[in-house]
Amino acid sequence: MSREMVLEKINQAVQVLNEKGIDMWITFVREMGIIPDPMKDFIIGTNCTWQSAFIITRTGDTYAIVGSLEVPNMKVVGTYKNVIGYLKSIKENLIEVIDKHNPEKIAINFSRNSALSDGLTYGMYLELTNHLKSTDYIEKLVSSEEIIAALRGRKSPMEISLLREAVSETIKIFEEVGRFMRPGLTEKQVAAYMQNVTKQKGFGLSWEREYCPSVFTGPDTAGAHSGPTDREIRNGHVLNIDFGIKFRGYCSDLQRTWYILREKEDVPPEQVVRGFNVIKEAIQLAAKELKPGKLGWEIDDIARQYIVRSGYEEYPHALGHQIGRVAHDGGGALLAPKWERYGNLPFIPIEEGQVFTLEPRLTIKDYGIATIEEEVIVTKDGCEFISPLQTEIFLIKSE
Amino acid sequence: MSREMVLEKINQAVQVLNEKGIDMWITFVREMGIIPDPMKDFIIGTNCTWQSAFIITRTGDTYAIVGSLEVPNMKVVGTYKNVIGYLKSIKENLIEVIDKHNPEKIAINFSRNSALSDGLTYGMYLELTNHLKSTDYIEKLVSSEEIIAALRGRKSPMEISLLREAVSETIKIFEEVGRFMRPGLTEKQVAAYMQNVTKQKGFGLSWEREYCPSVFTGPDTAGAHSGPTDREIRNGHVLNIDFGIKFRGYCSDLQRTWYILREKEDVPPEQVVRGFNVIKEAIQLAAKELKPGKLGWEIDDIARQYIVRSGYEEYPHALGHQIGRVAHDGGGALLAPKWERYGNLPFIPIEEGQVFTLEPRLTIKDYGIATIEEEVIVTKDGCEFISPLQTEIFLIKSE
């Protein structure tokens, strides 16, 4: 992000601190080249080597306390108003800055629920509480997860337009691979083709290149979050692809499904069409109820129940996640069932300006997996699709 | 790293567990695309999304407990013998695996001293101890820092040969930029030239591209860990560059110093030569004492005292750090003074097979900064330079 975008996010953070009644937010880090806090690009905009504290207060003051050698760099980067260098230990400067603001609530980056709000390592937590042990600030520490969820979730107009462009470029790549696809190609060949096209266009991948794209063809495939294999595309396969690009720092995440016609087939078998349509309808039913104030599990449940009532197994994952600078973004509301592995995220109210994926899945016996993944932005009283919808299963003609 | 290299490191880990009397090592992670444990490439070799536990025991058993959707991927990656999937919560499978081995000491990745051993976030620590709260395993948790320091510090012959090649390719780039350098160019132009050459050769950078290389020309420069500026190279400047490449996953980190001759000068002024020589001698004096069993602060002190006795200010950083897959590698011994910001690292005995930088610094008044950074490997009873030494200050002739 540019300095301007970081400063915009810091300003937004000051507003959120006031809204949430939190006096001070400390991002406490070291060696970010080795283990970066997930908020680094948002509210810092550079790296640091030694223990460093990036402090934002509800009064709008900002302090970067860094190793003395990194003071000049921090001044050049220019994202913090006060840059303080230390030589031997950060402790005294840190306490001095906190003292000046006498906060009642101090947010730090830990969260049982969201990795995005959990940049503080346990060793650094021990260091921080050791620095503060002669004060009563330890009892005032709270999780920054609400602040981070607001900052990452509520997209600015600039962010929304980048997310839209990321989607639209992704759709073009799906169209290209649709023309390339034919029986005899392997999942790996299809994936390599898409990665090449993406590279030629100068885009990044939305997640790890091992499974971006994921390509699954036919029955008994490896399943979501697996890489493409040497399995060959054959007539009579349902094939689906999960793919996203990184466009100027912003990610897309979409899925599309194809059917490879058999000789003499003009249309897919009835059970393939039915499976595809159940997914399509599940997305529409969920989107109809998606609006500010709803809880994620309620939206997930609509799609999940519809699929189960239609006679399919429920999908073993969440209906959808927020998306932004990373594919699994947000750190707040998640459209997930009430399973322990999702922590409290399914219970956090949905807010305006959040962008979600909707990505149910079902297995069509003997054919493969049907999925569609669309993206929506939450509006004042509903949601709006930002991806052009897949309304029919794409067909590959046998030659 | 390839699967073979990960398996080699896991085998080495089993030996280290036995050596240190630790029964089990758990790397507990989630969303490694957002916040990867620094040991990910070494002992896992892939990513994960949901809470996952990668377990190595002193008996040589290995378990990956991952979200069910990621079981196929984990099996393809093939770095863990037992792959266990869970749907709703990792808790039961985790306790079951620990129970089977009934460990007395369980290492987890937290460290107040080293970021490399501090991959467990505070939120994930709370999750882990919550999963284990009905057991007595919480009292058996210890830091994995000794294991990680051994794994990262003790270089295999393959690793040493890659580190040597990284150094030798870096020296070639220093030679090229020496031919390119002339008065009137800015620090930024010199840095851009080096980054282009590096890219053309297909290498990565050893650290963040903002200050890899760092280029400092003349008096009153920004100082270490700052990016290059628009400052122009002028006659009479001392100029130094801090630079490293990433060669097949392994890093280099070297510094070299030049003097820009004035018109009619054939040799640098006496005080420039003297400053350069003090740095050169400080490195030799420190290297002479560097051997297994010594403590990092003792080696730092030799160079530091020599520079101060010679009439210069002491350098505001450590004499040297370990290097490997990252520029600041190791997580064990560090050649640093006994300052709080370095934690216990200056007090950890040096071991055979570790690779260190030696990089003292001093200011030559009115001219600039003199630095040399060399790399050494610790042998059975001493150390050996793996970089060809800079023995004289490089000269740029005025045209």
**Residue A211 predicted with pLDDT over 90:** no
Q: Does A296 touch chain B (CB under 8 A)?
A: no
Query: What does the alpha-carbon distance between residue A243 and residue A253 come to, in Å, rounded to a whole number?
Result: 6
In chain B, which residue's Cα lies nearest the Cα of A341? Answer: B89
Q: pLDDT averaged over chain A?
A: 95
Residue type, B354: Q
* Residue A4, min C-alpha distance to chain B (Å): 17
Residue at which a domain ends, from A131, A152, A173: A152
Q: pLDDT value at position A4?
A: 87
Judge contact between A212 and A238, C-beta under 8 A.
no
A41-76 pLDDT, tens digit each: 999 999 999 999 999 999 999 999 999 989 988 998
| Domain boundary, last residue among B112, B129, B152 | B152
A34 in the same domain as A173: no
Owning domain of residue B29: 3-152
The reply to whether B45 and B99 lie within a common domain is: yes
Q: Where are the alpha helices (DSSP H) in B21-79?
A: 40-43, 71-77
Chain B contact for A389 (CB, 8 A cutoff):
no
Query: Within this chain, do residues A181 and A102 fall inside the same structural domain, yes or no?
Result: no
Query: pLDDT tens per residue, chain B (399 residues)?
Result: 789 889 989 999 999 999 999 999 999 999 998 999 999 999 999 999 999 999 999 999 999 999 998 998 899 899 999 999 998 899 999 999 999 999 999 999 999 989 999 999 999 999 999 999 999 999 999 999 999 999 999 998 889 999 999 999 999 999 999 999 999 999 999 999 999 999 999 999 999 888 899 999 999 776 666 789 999 999 999 999 999 999 999 999 999 999 999 999 999 999 999 999 999 999 999 999 999 999 999 999 999 999 999 999 999 999 999 999 999 998 889 999 999 888 889 999 999 999 999 999 999 999 999 999 999 999 999 999 999 999 999 999 866
Q: What is the pLDDT of residue B222?
A: 66
Q: Give this prediction's pTM.
A: 0.86
Q: Which residues contact B135 (CB under 8 A, 6 or more apart)?
A: B95, B98
Pairing, β A106-108 against β A24-29: parallel
My answer on whether A245 and A186 are in the same domain is yes
A47 touches chain B (CB under 8 A): yes
Cis bond upstream, residue A228 (ω within 30): no
Asked if the peptide bond before residue A213 counts as cis, ω within 30 degrees of 0, the response is yes
Cβ–Cβ of B123/A121 closer than 8 Å? no
The pLDDT of residue A86 is above 80 = yes
pLDDT, tens digit, 9 for 90 and up, residues A107-162: 999 999 899 999 999 999 999 999 999 999 999 999 999 999 999 999 988 899 99
Kindly provide the ipTM of the predicted complex, given to two decimals: 0.85
- Assess whether pLDDT exceeds 80 at residue A223: no
Give per-residue pLDDT as tens, A260-317.
999 999 999 999 999 999 999 999 999 999 999 999 999 999 999 999 999 999 999 9
Beta bridge partners of A54: A27, A64
Number of domains in chain B: 2
A147 and A221 fall within a common domain: no
pLDDT in tens, A239-265: 999 999 999 999 999 999 999 999 999
Hunting for tokens 């290059």 — which residue is that?
B228
How far apart are the C-alpha atoms of B195 and B203, rounded to whole Å?
9
- Assigned token pair, B265: 């000068």
- The pLDDT of residue B399 is 61
Mark whether B290 and B244 lie in a shared domain.
Answer: yes
Count CA within 13 A, CB hemisphere, residue A167: 25
Q: Is B216 on the interface with A (CB under 8 A)?
A: no
Instruction: Tell me whether B70 touches chain A (CB under 8 Å).
Output: yes
Asked if B210 and A33 come within 8 Å (Cβ–Cβ), the reply is: no
Q: Which CATH number is A339's domain given? A: 3.90.230.10
CB-based contact (8 Å) between B87 and chain A?
A: yes
Residue A266 Cα, gap to closest chain B Cα (Å): 34
**Is residue B148 located within the same domain as residue B181?**
no
Instruction: Please report, for the domain that includes residue B37, its CATH number.
Output: 3.40.350.10
- Which of B152, B181, B200 is the endpoint of a domain? B152
Region A376-399 average pLDDT: 94
pLDDT score recorded for residue A225: 67
- For the stretch A353-367, pLDDT in tens is 999 999 999 999 999
Quick one: B118 and B190 in the same domain? no
Enumerate the residues of chain B whose CB falls inside 8 A of the CB of residue A226: 69-70, 72-73, 76
- CA dist., res. A179 & res. A177, Å (int): 5
Residues A93 and A237 in one domain: no
How far is C-alpha A385 from the geometric centre of its chain's CA atoms? Answer: 17
Q: Across residues A92-104, what is the average pLDDT?
A: 98
The whole-angstrom separation of Cα A212 and Cα B79 is: 21
Same structural domain, A128 and A254: no
Query: What is the structure's pLDDT at B308?
Result: 97
**Quick one: pLDDT at residue B81?**
97
